[in-house]
Amino acid sequence: MKIIKNFCGGPGGGFFKKSPLAAGGIVVFFLFLFINCSSNRDTGLDAAGVAANNRGVGLMGQFKFEAARQVFEKLGRKYPGNLDIRTNLAIAIFNRQKEGDERTALSILSRVLEQDPAHIQARYCSGLLELYQGRPAKALEYFQAVMKADPEDAEVLYFIGKTLLQLERYEEALDFFKRSVSLDPYIRSAYYGMIMALRQLGKIDDAYTMMEEFQSLQKNPRARLVEFKYTKMGRKAEVLAIDQANVEPVKKPAGPLFNAVKTIVVNEGTRWHHRQNGTLTSSSVTICDIDGNNHPDIFIPGAITLPNGIGNALFRGNPGDGTYTLDSRHPLSGVIGVNAALWGDINNDGFVDVYLCRRGPNQLWYQEAGGKWQDMTGDTGTANGDLDTVDGALFDADHDGDLDIFLINANSPNELLNNNRDGTFRPLAADYGLKGNGTPSRSIVITDLDADRDADVIVINQRPPHEVYINQRLWKYHSAKGFETFISADVIAAVAGDVDTDGLTELYTLDSQGILTRWRPNKEDTWGGVALTKMKSFCGGPGGSFFKKSPLVAEGKIKLQPRLALVDVDGDGMLDIIVSGGNGWWAASFDGTHLKPLFTFTVPGKEKTGLAAWAVINSSRGPSVLGWSPGEPPFFWPTGPGRYSFALLKLSGMKDANSTWRSNASGIGTRLAIRVDSRWTVLDTFRSDSGPGQGLQPVTVGLGGAERIDFAALDWSDGVFQTELDLEAGKLHKITETQRQVSSCPVLFAWNGKIFEFVSDILGVGGIGYAVGPGQYSEPRPWENFMLPPGLLQPRNGRLILKLTEPMEEAAYLDAVRLKAYDLPPGWSMTLDERMGISEPFPSGLLRFYRNILIPVEAINDRNEDVTAAVSKRDLKAAPPGELDRRFIGRLQQDHILTVTFPRALDSFPGQAVLVADGWVEYPYSQTNFAAWQAGADYRAPSIEVRQPDGQWVKVLEQFGYPAGMPRQMSVPLPPLPKGVRQIRISTNQEIYWDRLAVVFAETCPEVERHELMLELAQLEQVGFPQRIDRAQRLPDYDYEKRKPFWDTHFLEGFYTRFGSIEELVEAKDNAVAIFAAGEGVHLEFREPPKPRMEGWTRVFVLETDGWCKDMDLYTSTGETVEPVPYIGKRSARVHRLHKLYNTRYLSGKQ
């Protein structure tokens, strides 16, 4: 395979090579849009032709390149004179990336240009192909012609810069990268191109400055890479939808945003509590679908008078007609002294629970099947003393998959109750610096302030200073720097959101004078506030250009706690703000530092009582507003006709009540970047208003007149990234976290004579920073030997080919690879002393030869089930491990015990008895281990007991280890055993799937012939993501032939190895490592050895690897960065030289 060494660049760059770009299904569907990628030439296509071409365009958008090629090829025969169809065909072919596809595509494009030299798309694609095949001078001619025709195309300017960089014309390259950024400041690849050009020009300080700008775009959802992947090469490299008419922007429907206010009808005789003046500050309304019927319910604490005191108004949403019924007999209605309610599935059982913040001991109520409720306060230890808790938050503070409870107290230090996931909670605030500064507190804001994927905490006190805590994970927090102005500000209400969709949170606060302020960090991460001005129309005057800096809230004649909410009111896809105070509320959209009025309402006759509490109710028609004033039933403003359409997204980290999970079942803490046409909306599922109280509702998304959400990119609270596509307007979409494996270790494929077949994973034993407890990390073993299945590896053109790929969210550090062949005489077999070693004896990786093997004649598990057939044959059908502990991935509810009987005693043959086991394991993640630690739940690796002749069982190996990942064979030598032993007992509470068990007898085999095969080729490729298939019993499988160009992954930030030849890095164990990321892999070719010299001999291949891997789990040590690069002992000057030469490709952010 020819390797073309070009610019060793970063995102979108790097050693171009003839490796597959992509194949397979869809991950992220960037709407290629018929509008923007369309031809208006006189094409001669009839309706059927247009429809067929549209189908091809759609297939390309799903990355089904071969299917699209067939469509365009058929159309090309029917319409031979249509150049756009022929160009579409060329684009489909070169994205398919089979042998010779680049030449075929160039040939097609050349014929197009012969007929129409001005065909700009054919020129652009020709330039890409020439650049891809290592002919930058020829590519430059094409790109310059495209630029002349379209000088405003940022992508073509970027590729001209990239081409000039390869031609070592660095000053010119820098200029074109700058021009590209001036047209599109979100092309991250152009910033990286400037970095590389500046480095070549010796302008190192300027390069570092540009690196800061490049990194600042990492969290911005608008930022993108330009690279050799379909939908990422520029619009001109995407297939055309032919004869599609331009679509005019959709006008907002006429009419008001909200219809006339209505009062909720209640039962006669309901006595509404009328609070005294001055007691309104703790009024609260929360919205939650309590009974799971997809209709919101309403909870208003302290709103009705009951025989036993002041109770709560609970309104149940009625399916079908949008009305509500007061349920005064509900057990939650009778709890007195409630300030606010916090709703969420606290015990992750699939039912919504509630924590009641009270004047007095708080209460935690769990919901059970059938709508039954139970007060669990005493059992869980969550009363928080006899205090006045005025607000709080449910969120996964430690990112271990459950909901913790932060409590805001008006008369005592605040508290964080950590969910131990064993039915109890523990207070953490005093020990971890969260109890406050002694000032009575008012409210709480949970958000990610520093864009590091965890939940930070802001406490608004009744008077400054306020408190801002940055989450450092592992229950550690520190007071935030750069918030000095904020914490000393006059703040009575606060809310967080990303209104400007730059990927960074802003804060919006209201002070006691009614001034609304927006807070954002500057480049030095110092937070400053800017007062937002309003149009005069808020004061009753004409709208227009007159803005006023007067207070935005009229306080009225009583003290009242105003409330803020960030929500898209009119459905244009942009967050608006709702503000209440005095005797009404209003909504406005943002325009820089100005506010444009959308809706204003004054509660008639309420100048002295005010609007005590309100909440937004999300629906498929967008938000309505529910308000309450003391002494009367609530009233609401229904959605009006003057708004665009919406979609509702209901998120959950749990598929069903019996499954394991990684994120909390309520989906709280998930961040969403939503794409509709060319517009982004950035949301999260933390509280979107200033409280008090926390509801639980689907997220509402305005579509601006579009029919659907193109895609929604979700960052779950456990750090998993997931994308959902084509979500229709006007519907409720239930989205559960994909319970997929996001980290493991590199995955191995082998050429079997026809295809690259999945084998297993490797180097999982070399995991760096794998957390086993708070601040405790396992010691990586930086090598693993793997025996390939017999008969799998077949030669191609005299070479044996393996691919070591990284399909998961991690980085691999490959130091060395060796392939060895062993020829065994008839009657002999071999295994390796390999396993994930937990206790002695630790694995050596050495060969173990044997002639004699004992297969079980009986195997009975702990449930008294006969599983003999399951463990007697290596067929990927394992013994069932038992009921899973759904709280923790990879853990069982009780020990899986296998009592195995062999046909003869384990001392019947010469040699050392060795237990050989084929199987696989479901690994827990670092987060899982932390969660299990705090619950006091351990993971116990397999141990072995033997039954002595007197019938007594004695343990001979304590937690010896297990198969180190996906399907593989492991072995462990058995110690000297009592004579006559025929039965062993293997016990573990890990989710291990035992496929075949056997005892063999290791002996010396002097006749074995050994071959160490020469490494002929090693190259780093961008291979994409082979399709994963999850079979029964969590058996993983991969289809290399079906690869996706993208997947929902992040990159560890740092420098990776450039694409191309890497033999120098992997041919010897020397600390010089090839570093590769998700979607990449190492292609290895070894010289085929001579055939076994004698008939009947068996050949076994062993792949020996040295290296490490590191995932991005939130609890993995240094899991955000490639650095520190691991090594053993000391690194030589040669290693530093090789790393400087090869590891030049910078990656960060998301795919």
350 touches 654 (CB < 8 A)? yes
278 pLDDT higher than 90: no
Residues 6+ apart with CB under 8 A from 673: 221, 501, 503, 680, 681, 682, 712, 713
967-978: average pLDDT: 96
pLDDT of residue 560: 58
Closest CA to 1075 of 818, 766, 816, 811: 811
Q: 416-425, pLDDT tens digit by residue?
A: 999 998 899 9
1 touches 1018 (CB < 8 A)? no
538 pLDDT tier (thresholds 50, 70, 90) = very low
Residue written as token pair 């990449």: 1080
Q: 713-770, pLDDT tens digit by residue?
A: 888 887 777 878 788 999 999 999 876 555 568 999 999 999 999 999 999 999 998 8
Closest CA to 750 of 475, 517, 1086: 1086
More confident of the two residues 475 and 541: 475
What is the Cα–Cα distance from 637 to 623, expressed in whole angstroms? 9
Count Cα neighbours of 272 within 13 Å in the Cβ-side half-sphere.
Answer: 15
Q: Assign a CATH topology to domain 38-208+227-239.
A: 1.25.40
pLDDT of residue 241: 64
Which structure tokens are listed for 161? 């810069």
In the chain, what are the domain boundaries?
38-208+227-239, 281-649, 650-736, 740-825+1007-1151, 829-1004
Superfamily of domain 281-649 in the CATH hierarchy:
YVTN repeat-like/Quinoprotein amine dehydrogenase (2.130.10.10)
What is the Cα–Cα distance from 190 to 158, expressed in whole angstroms? 6
At 732, phi and psi to the nearest 5? -95, 120
What is the Cα–Cα distance from 630 to 272, expressed in whole angstroms? 7
Kindly provide the residue ranges of all beta strands, DSSP E only, lying in 639-685, ordered along the sequence: 646-652, 671-676, 679-684
Residue written as token pair 């005057």: 541
Count Cα neighbours of 384 within 13 Å in the Cβ-side half-sphere.
Answer: 33
More confident of the two residues 475 and 478: 478
What is the Cα–Cα distance from 861 to 879, expressed in whole angstroms? 9
Helix (H, G, I), strand (E, B) or coil at 704: coil
532 touches 545 (CB < 8 A)? no
Q: Any bridge partners for residue 696, and if so which? A: 288
User: Kindly report the CA angle at 1113 between 1112 and 1114, in degrees rounded to 5?
Assistant: 110
Query: What would the DSSP string read from start to end of 1096-1129?
Result: T-EEEEEEEEEEEEEE--TTSTTTTBSPSPP-SS
pLDDT of residue 194: 94
In the chain, the percentage of residues whose pLDDT exceeds 90 is 64
pLDDT of residue 239: 81
What is the SS3 assignment for 325-381?
EECCCCCCCCCCCEEEEEEECCCCCCCCEEEEEEECCCEEEEEEHHHEEEECHHHHC
Residue written as token pair 């069903």: 656
774-783: average pLDDT: 88
Q: 999-1027, pLDDT tens digit by residue?
A: 999 999 999 999 999 999 999 998 888 99
What is the Cα–Cα distance from 311 to 303, expressed in whole angstroms? 6
396-419: average pLDDT: 93
356 pLDDT higher than 50: yes
Residues 6+ apart with CB under 8 A from 827: 851
DSSP letter at 190 equals: H
Closest CA to 509 of 483, 539, 470, 541: 483
747 touches 805 (CB < 8 A)? yes
Helix (H) or strand (E) holding 170: helix 170-183
231 touches 32 (CB < 8 A)? yes
- Bond into 136 cis (ω within 30): no
Chain mean pLDDT for the chain? 87
- The amino acid sitting at 740 is R
453 pLDDT higher than 90: no
Q: 55-107, pLDDT tens digit by residue?
A: 787 677 667 888 889 999 999 999 999 999 999 999 999 888 777 888 999 99
205-232: average pLDDT: 82
Residue written as token pair 């001078």: 137
pLDDT of residue 936: 85
Q: Any bridge partners for residue 369, and if so which? A: none
498 touches 505 (CB < 8 A)? yes
972 pLDDT tier (thresholds 50, 70, 90) = very high
Residues 6+ apart with CB under 8 A from 771: 777, 926, 927, 929, 930, 1113, 1115, 1116, 1117
542-551: average pLDDT: 38
852 pLDDT higher than 50: yes
In this structure, of 45-59, 673-687, 928-942, the range with the lowest mean pLDDT score is 45-59
More confident of the two residues 783 and 215: 783
607 pLDDT higher than 50: no
DSSP letter at 1034 equals: G
Helix (H) or strand (E) holding 83: helix 83-96
Q: What order do you get walking across the sheet with 721-728 strand by strand?
A: 679-684, 671-676, 708-715, 721-728
What is the Cα–Cα distance from 446 to 449, expressed in whole angstroms? 9
Torsion of CA 457, 458, 460, 466, to 10 degrees: 120
Q: 860-899, pLDDT tens digit by residue?
A: 999 999 999 999 999 999 999 999 998 888 999 999 999 9
pLDDT of residue 871: 98
Q: The dihedral of CA 172, 176, 182, 185: what is its sign? A: negative
Closest CA to 754 of 718, 801, 818, 685: 801
More confident of the two residues 1103 and 25: 1103
Which structure tokens are listed for 567? 């929500």
Q: 101-157, pLDDT tens digit by residue?
A: 889 999 999 999 999 999 999 999 999 999 988 899 999 999 999 999 999 999 999
What is the Cα–Cα distance from 1084 to 1015, expressed in whole angstroms? 7
pLDDT of residue 726: 80
In this structure, of 100-104, 621-625, 910-914, the range with the lowest mean pLDDT score is 100-104
Q: 985-996, pLDDT tens digit by residue?
A: 999 999 999 999
More confident of the two residues 653 and 620: 620
pLDDT of residue 608: 42
Closest CA to 891 of 957, 787, 988: 988
Helix (H, G, I), strand (E, B) or coil at 685: coil
At 764, phi and psi to the nearest 5? -65, -25
Radius of gyration of the chain (CA): 32
Q: Beta 338-344 vs 353-358: how paired, if at all?
A: antiparallel
pLDDT of residue 7: 28
Count Cα neighbours of 924 within 13 Å in the Cβ-side half-sphere.
Answer: 33
At 816, phi and psi to the nearest 5? -155, 150
What is the Cα–Cα distance from 102 to 1104, expressed in whole angstroms? 35
- The amino acid sitting at 194 is M
pTM for this prediction: 0.69
Q: Beta 477-479 vs 467-471: how paired, if at all?
A: antiparallel
Q: Any long-range contacts for 414-423 (C-beta under 8 Å, 24+ apart)?
A: 414/441, 414/459, 415/384, 417/382, 417/384, 418/475, 418/934, 419/346, 420/934, 420/935, 420/936, 421/887, 421/931, 421/934, 421/935, 422/935, 422/936, 422/937, 423/347, 423/379, 423/380
606 pLDDT higher than 80: no
9 pLDDT higher than 50: no
Residue 143's Cα: distance from chain center in Å? 36
466-472: average pLDDT: 93
CATH number of 829-1004: 2.60.120.260
41-60: average pLDDT: 72
